[in-house]
């Protein structure tokens, strides 16, 4: 009798765990309505597998994106979403081998696109950089493609871009925003041809909930809506607003890979970093820790803060609160994006209001541009009035000048 009972206990316990797990799936699916854009139906996952040149990749991506955007105005949308190449003027310096003197790969963040970084690319091109703008796999199409997206594919695309740039430029820099910054760090740790990094709010620490995302993702097999952390209107056009747990799972794994790949060569690279103390998406302390371990004398961090903070060595603290212009702080978004960006700028076509519940008066007012302030959607800021989450940098020109000084110091 006793032995039989002991044999039954594990089975019963497993059944209880299964019931709790499935119950959690049903709970996570509650109230989430999926549309066609939330389906993962693209077999090739939009991963470039060719062995041709960067221009071949750009042409391939452009053709692919045009198929995904047949709507009116879709050709312009596809062009803005696409990867790009920006060549310097013909009078810019070249090596004796005919290489451009300097080149940089721009890597956008998770659920974003090259469009948010293209103005920076144009400014760097004007400063004689050869610029490659990368579109990460499973981006630019529909958020449902993120359900089957993996950091290894993102890194493979980054490695391809860095390798192609090295064929045309003497010095290779990598620049990334958020998870794009993490990819730049990991690639630099493994690739000896990388000469420096330019990072914008890199993802080196995210919410601890993300470490459990790998247990939540499989629930999508039973409850498709449970696979999604957020379901939004996806009106941003050039970035996804709906976000699956898969994205958090892979970002967490990517961050762990980046920290484990830290080596002496990476610590000795020149690194320019821009971060914001008020950042709801990534942990700024982890960015400061990463920069504190860097030993290159020209490495620099621009740290925007709403309030005075103590500045560690090689950290320049900049005030990000300007009541006169209605700016409370910078956010995780757009520290590399100028205020005149046609989509994400001060008078751009898109307004980031997802911190308010859709259907509420605050959401409608925010979307109508009736904000009282720009800033990060912190509890403190939201208590001050109606806040539109800022997706640009009002001090972009000053930031660009600091970046130009850094690049001038570390260029051969």
pLDDT digits (tens, 9 = 90+) for 340-377: 999 999 989 999 999 999 889 999 999 999 999 999 99
Burial annotation 321-331 (CB, 10 A radius, 16+ → b, else e): beeeebbbbbb
Q: CA 340 to CA 121: how far, in whole Å?
A: 15
Minimum mean pLDDT among 68-82, 159-173, 193-207: which range? 68-82
Give, rounded to a whole angstrom, the gap between the first and last alpha carbons of the chain: 81
Q: Is residue 320 part of a domain?
A: no
In the chain, the number of structural domains is: 1
pLDDT tens for each residue of 263-275: 999 999 999 999 9
The tens digit of pLDDT for each residue in 18-49 reads 676 667 667 777 878 888 888 876 555 455 65
Q: For 286, how many CA atoms within 13 A lie in the half-sphere containing its CB?
A: 18
Q: Answer yes or no: is 402 within a domain.
A: no
pTM summary value:
0.93
In a domain, 345, yes or no: no
Query: pLDDT tens, 249-260?
Result: 999 999 999 999
Going by their DSSP bridges, the two strands 84-86 and 100-107 should be labelled as: unpaired
Give me the pLDDT at residue 212, please. Answer: 84
Q: Is 78 a member of any domain?
A: yes
Tell me whether residue 73 is in a domain. Answer: yes
Residue 5: what pLDDT?
45
Please report the pLDDT score of residue 83 as a whole number. 96
C-alpha distances (whole Å) from 234 to each of 131, 219, 248, 407 are 29, 23, 18, 36
CA distance 161 to 180: 13
3-state secondary structure of 325: helix
Q: Which domain holds residue 112?
A: 30-269
State the Cα torsion 167-171-177-183 to the nearest 10°.
60
- Structural domain contains residue 408: no
97 or 215, greater pLDDT: 97
pLDDT for 17: 62
Report yes or no on 327 lying in a domain.
Answer: no
CA distances, 30 to each of 220, 255, 358, 401 (Å): 13, 30, 16, 49
| Gap between the Cα atoms of 82 and 80, Å rounded | 6
DSSP output for 243-278: EEHHHHHHHHHHHHHHHHT--HHHHHS-EEEEEESS
Does residue 329 register a pLDDT over 60? yes
The pLDDT assigned to 411 comes to: 82
Tell me: pLDDT of 129 over 70.
Answer: yes
34 found inside a domain: yes
Q: DSSP assignment, residue 281? A: S
CATH number at residue 162: 3.40.50.1820
| pLDDT at residue 216, as a whole number | 84
At 170-229, the pLDDT tens digits run 999 999 999 999 999 999 999 999 999 999 999 999 887 778 888 888 888 888 888 889
Task: Report pLDDT for 378.
Answer: 95
Q: How confident is the model over 122-127, as a mean pLDDT? A: 98
SS3 295: coil
């Amino acid at each position: 009798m006793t032995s039989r009972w002991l044999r039954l206990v594990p089975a019963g316990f497993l059944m209880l765990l299964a019931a709790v797990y499935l119950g959690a799936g049903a709970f996570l699916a509650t109230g989430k309505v999926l549309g066609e854009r939330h389906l993962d139906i693209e077999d090739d996952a939009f991963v470039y597998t060719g062995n041709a040149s960067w221009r071949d990749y750009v042409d391939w991506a452009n053709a692919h994106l045009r198929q995904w955007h047949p709507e009116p105005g879709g050709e312009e949308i596809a062009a803005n979403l696409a990867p790009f190449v920006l060549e310097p003027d013909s009078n810019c310096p070249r090596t004796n081998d005919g290489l451009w003197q300097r080149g940089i790969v721009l890597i956008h963040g998770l659920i974003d696109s090259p469009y948010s970084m293209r103005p920076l690319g144009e400014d760097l091109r004007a400063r004689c950089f050869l610029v490659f703008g990368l579109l990460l796999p499973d981006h630019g199409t529909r958020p449902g493609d993120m359900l089957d997206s993996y950091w290894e594919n993102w890194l493979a695309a980054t490695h391809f871009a860095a390798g192609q740039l090295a064929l045309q430029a003497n010095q290779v820099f990598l620049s990334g925003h958020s998870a794009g910054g993490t990819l730049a760090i990991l690639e630099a740790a493994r690739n000896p041809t990388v000469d420096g990094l330019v990072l914008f709010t890199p993802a080196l620490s995210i919410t601890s909930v993300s470490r459990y995302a790998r247990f939540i993702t499989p629930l999508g097999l039973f409850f498709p809506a449970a696979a999604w952390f957020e379901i939004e209107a996806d009106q941003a056009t050039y970035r996804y607003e709906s976000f699956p747990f898969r994205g958090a799972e892979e970002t967490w794994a990517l961050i762990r890979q980046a920290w484990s790949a830290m080596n002496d060569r990476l610590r000795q690279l020149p690194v320019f970093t821009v971060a914001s103390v008020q950042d709801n998406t990534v942990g700024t302390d982890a960015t400061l820790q990463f920069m504190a371990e860097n030993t290159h004398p020209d490495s620099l961090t621009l740290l925007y803060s709403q309030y005075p903070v103590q500045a560690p060595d090689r950290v320049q603290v900049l005030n990000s609160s300007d009541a006169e212009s209605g700016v409370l702080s910078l956010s995780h978004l757009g520290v590399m994006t100028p205020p005149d960006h046609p989509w994400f700028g001060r008078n751009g076509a898109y307004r980031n209001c997802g911190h308010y519940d859709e259907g509420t008066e605050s959401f409608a007012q925010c979307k109508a541009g009736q904000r009282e302030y720009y800033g990060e959607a912190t509890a403190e800021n939201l208590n001050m009035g109606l806040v539109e989450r800022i997706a640009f940098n009002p001090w972009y020109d000053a930031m660009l000048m600091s970046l130009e000084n850094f690049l001038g110091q570390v260029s051969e």
